Amino acid sequence: MTKTRQGAALLGQKSSLPASPDEAELDIVPNPRPSESYLVRFAAPEFTSLCPVTGQPDFAHIVIDYVPAEWLVESKSLKLYLASFRTLGAFHEDCTMRIALDLKSALAPKWLRIGAYWYPRGGIPIDVFWQTGEPPQGLWLPDQGVPPYRGRG
C-alpha cells in the first residue's frame, strides 16, 4: 500500500520518480474548507502502466474527482504517485482500483470517483469506473469530459 504523510514535503523540492506505487508517498494537507462540499478534479491524460503479460505500455486518460473532508492530496505527490505506475505490470482494472483505494485510504474523502479511459489493447478500449457511493446532495458534478472512444481526439 502507498504511504501517506501529512504536509507538502515534496513541494519546492527536487524529487525523483518513485520506482513503483509501493515506494510512492502521497502528501496530504489540511482542507481549509472542510465544512463545504466542493469538487476537486485531477486529470491525467497521459497515464502509463505496463501490460503484465507482454510488458508493453498501456495508456489511459484518468480523471479523479473527489469531495474533500479533512484532507486534500498535494498535487506534486499525486503526479509522482501516478507516474510511478509506468514500471508496474498490472491489468487496467487493477491499476484503476489501486489508485481509487489508495486515495480513499489516504484522504477519507466525503466522496470519490475515478474514470479510467484506457486506450485500446487488441482493438478494444477498456474503461474502468468506480465511486465510493452517492455524491453529496447539491454537488455540481460536471461530466468527466472524455469522449467515447473514436480515437479519443
As annotated, the active-site residues are 51, 58
Please list, residue by residue across 122-152, b when 16 or more beta carbons sit within 10 angstroms of its beta carbon and e when fewer do: eeeebebebebeebeeeeeeeebebeeeeeb
Which residues contact residue 140 at a Cβ distance below 8 angstroms, ignoring those fewer than 6 apart? 39
Percent of residues in the chain assigned helix, strand, coil, to nearest 5: 20, 35, 50
